[in-house]
Chain A
Amino acid sequence: MILQALNEYYQKLMDDPESGVAPPGYSPVKITHAVVLNNEGELIDILPLSVQQGKKSIPQKMMVPEQVKRTSGVSANILCDNVSYVLGIDRNKNGEPELATEKFADFRRKNEIFLNGIPSQGAQVILKFLQRWVPTLSHTIIGRSLDALLNGNNIVFKIDGMLGYVHEDAKVKEKWDESDDNHTDKTIGQCLILGEKLPIARIHPAIKGVVGAQTSGASIVSFNADAFTSYGKSQSFNAPVSIKAAFAYGTALNYLIASDTNRVRLADTTMVFWADKKGGKAEETVLAWCLDPVVAETGEENEKRRIDPAAARHAKAVLDRVKSGLPVGDAGFDPDTRCYLLGLAPNAARLSVRFWQVSSFGDVLEKIARHYTDMDIAGIERLGGTVSPWRTLKALAVLEDAKNIPPLLGGQLLKTILSGQMYPQPIYNAAIIRCRTGGEHGGVNTIRAAVIKAFLTRKYRIQKQPEREAMITVSLNENNTNNAYLLGRLFSLLEKAQKDALGSNINATIRDRYFGAASATPGSVFPLLLRLSRHHLSKSEYGNLSERKIQEVMNGLDAFPAHLNMEEQGLFILGYYHQNQANYTKNENNEQKEG
């Protein structure tokens, strides 16, 4: 289904001239220079083709005859390659220029075979060039731009006084398209994407741009160890995909990953999504923003905006409407458009599929809105209201370092957000553990509390326990009589009493010392904390007020249980967080009254 859908998407891209995807037999390649030849096949100039954009020079993209997948060894391409093949100049390990005669020889051999007999001036001139060129470092023209050539990318050919490049010549193209169809020695079999009997691809295209995979690209269909093969078949004959279909799905997938609006990255997972109709750009952009909302106002991240501000505002408006349960009601967004979602993650040189979902944009957006609603908690507005899945994951990692995000978690979280299922237990556990371990950036923070809240809300909803679901609120719920929740609130009040008494510059507050123990084994800690609080209350200015609040909460408690299970620990943290937030807002109100 996955490859089939990608194959269909490729057919749509082909119909859209703006998409810039390669037709079969060609690949888009970055070109930095053109070698200019005169009619005798002599090198007369080297033309830089990069365009200056600000500080960077951007190479041009051109459709050239499809390039081979180079893993090791020497293998030249037709009419376009890097400098080591085209001119036989390379850099050695120390970065100094050297000759690469072997590569040039291969380039000469292959191109001579291909160009022979093409009745076009360009082809004939290149044949002359290939015969007379001897790789050298001392050529004056090369000397002028040696550094740029060696740092550059691919090179194409141009004939002095003729328009266009040689690989674009009509006669050359004709020959190339023909040679591509000559599958005389190919294995024929039933293609598992198209179902027809066609020549089968031996090697599948490399997919580039998946985070964490090799930069030269990784394969989604590969058989790079003996154990993956069966029935006596080698390489991709284990999975018969026709050359045609393999090219199509590879091109479509590479296009999606390179796109700004069809791709979202989260930890080790790269997700692409696409619409099942032509011109689904608006829907795709909305989805891309919703999964990676960047608040336009805060300039904290100076990275390049993937989605332009106007589109982001549009997306936010759409999301807000869905969040409040209204129909999208927007001409630019058709909720019934079918939508494919594919999550990929690297695993050595291979890509693995983390999830695959076929749905409609309206449905997916509803699920995303549900996620953000579940994550709503007092204080989250200070983070912009919608916390992107990326930040959520980071908050759950050790030291809040993206490197420490456990593998699999990214894919699992995305999958839950998009499918509306129960959040995976590891995410909840991670949130609780991070809350308990504390540290400078640790402890209970808004995102972690939001994750706990979202997990519990969704769990109760899916398990159909509406009265428990109702107990989990956005901000402090004084009517919640759950023991664990009350204990969390009590802990927050005791901490406040300590702060009121001793000021906020205490080396180790009771939170630093006892939070972990209090949330897991309250029975062993709370009596001690209450004893301590007597001293704090008597010392503090507003002791009476604090004492009354502590009494209120204590009245609701039945006992200090010996230990709390994972679910209760979550409620404890939630109670603590809510009470903290409430303390904070009350303080603000007081200040306003005073002022």
Chain B
Amino acid sequence: MGYGVKLRVWGDYACFTRPEMKAERVSYDVMTPSAARGILEAIHWKPALVWRIDRIHVMKPIRFDSIRRNEVAGKISERNIKTAMNGGTVDLHQYAAAQNERQQRAALVLRDVEYIIEAHFELTEKAGESDNPGKHCDIFSRRAREGQCHMRPYFGCREFPVNFELVEGEIPKSALKGEIDLGWMLWDIDFANDMQPIFFRPTMRDGVVDTRLSRGRGV
């Protein structure tokens, strides 16, 4: 636990889609641990390490907004991609303008969010001799401090980018008070086991969701 990191993330919109309402998206009330993991991985990740989310601090009141977007109905077929990779000429575009491709989807998203993610990482068996925790911790801190990332981290949907900064020192107290049962929530996907989703039942106490409770199961 010596190598914990704290990252403040914020943005205008967020959508941590509930799996049951995925077609007409409805967001969870707070960030899911797997979304937090995705943000950290966007800043620094190697096969040698795995991120473990410890706590998520919810810094702003939970507010929802309803929006509609035009999206597409289909996926690009795997075969077309293979053809393209082999040098074949296929059109890999999807056109939301086409009547039968376009799907208007409503979404209940979060507005104006800010979280502080507390996490640490562990080395995996893929770690080589040159990997040591101190080094990766430094790499992460340096990159987060300078705002570097491999890809733009996002809040659930690519359209909702994440602003981030490293928290050095104390985590400020969340303005939220009281205890809220968040219901069953996606914890992560078990990629090793037929991509089974795993759910956990967090409780938010004074704005803090402790996600360590479910450690040791799955992933």
Contact = CB atoms under 8 A, between A and B. Distances in A.
A228 B107 CA distance: 13
A241 B20 contact: yes
A195 interface: yes
Interface in A228-253: 228, 230-233, 238-241
Contact of B183 (A4, A226, A227): A4
Interface in B141-191: 182-184, 186, 189
Interface in B83-129: 103-108
B88 to A, nearest CB: 22
B198 interface: yes
Contacts of B71: 227
B26 A192 contact: no
A350 B24 contact: yes
A190 B199 contact: yes
Contact of B196 (A189, A222, A345): A189
Contacts of A528: none
B219 interface: no
A573 interface: no
A590 to B, nearest CB: 50
Contacts of B73: 225-227
Contacts of A220: 21, 24
Contacts of A221: 20-21, 23
Interface stretch (A285-293, A310-318, A352-360): A352-360
Contacts of A408: 66, 68
Interface in A180-201: 189-190, 192-195
A154 interface: no
Given A227-B72, A408-B66, A347 B198 contact: no
B79 interface: no
B19 A347 contact: no
Contact of B21 (A190, A194, A195, A353): A353
B22 interface: yes
Interface string B56-77: 0000000010101001111100
Given A192-B184, A347-B24, A225 B197 contact: no
Contacts of A195: 184, 199, 201
Interface residues of A, number: 41
B195 interface: yes
A262 interface: no
A275 interface: no
A411 interface: yes
Interface in A386-411: 408, 411
A585 to B, nearest CB: 41
A569 interface: no
Given A223-B23, A228-B23, A231-B189, A355 B64 contact: yes
A228 B22 contact: yes
B197 A1 contact: no
A39 to B, nearest CB: 50
Interface string A330-374: 000000000000000101101111111000000000000000000
Contact of B195 (A225, A233, A353): A233
A239 B22 contact: yes
A238 B20 CA distance: 8
Nearest to B185: A192
Contacts of A350: 23-24
Q: How many of chain B's residues touch chain A, expressed as a range?
A: 20 to 34
B19 A352 contact: no
B29 interface: yes
Contact of A355 (B29, B66, B72, B201): B66
Given A345-B106, A355-B108, A227 B74 contact: yes
A192 B66 contact: no
B60 to A, nearest CB: 15
B26 A412 contact: no
Given A195-B201, A408-B66, A352 B182 contact: no
Contacts of B21: 2, 220-221, 239, 353
A227 B201 CA distance: 28
Contacts of B75: 226-227
B20 A353 contact: no
Nearest to A349: B23
Contacts of A241: 20
Most buried by A among B22, B73, B107: B22
A347 B102 CA distance: 13
Most buried by A among B23, B182, B183: B23
B20 A3 contact: yes
A226 to B, nearest CB: 5
Nearest to B198: A190
Nearest to B71: A227
Interface string B12-56: 000000111111101001000000000000000000000000000
Contacts of A192: 19-20, 184, 186, 197, 199
Contacts of B26: 2, 353, 356
A193 to B, nearest CB: 7
Interface of A: 1-4, 189-190, 192-195, 220-228, 230-233, 238-241, 345, 347-348, 350-356, 408, 411-412, 415
Closest 3 pairs (CB-CB, A-B): A352-B24, A352-B106, A225-B73
Interface of B: 18-24, 26, 29, 64, 66, 68, 71-75, 103-108, 182-184, 186, 189, 195-199, 201
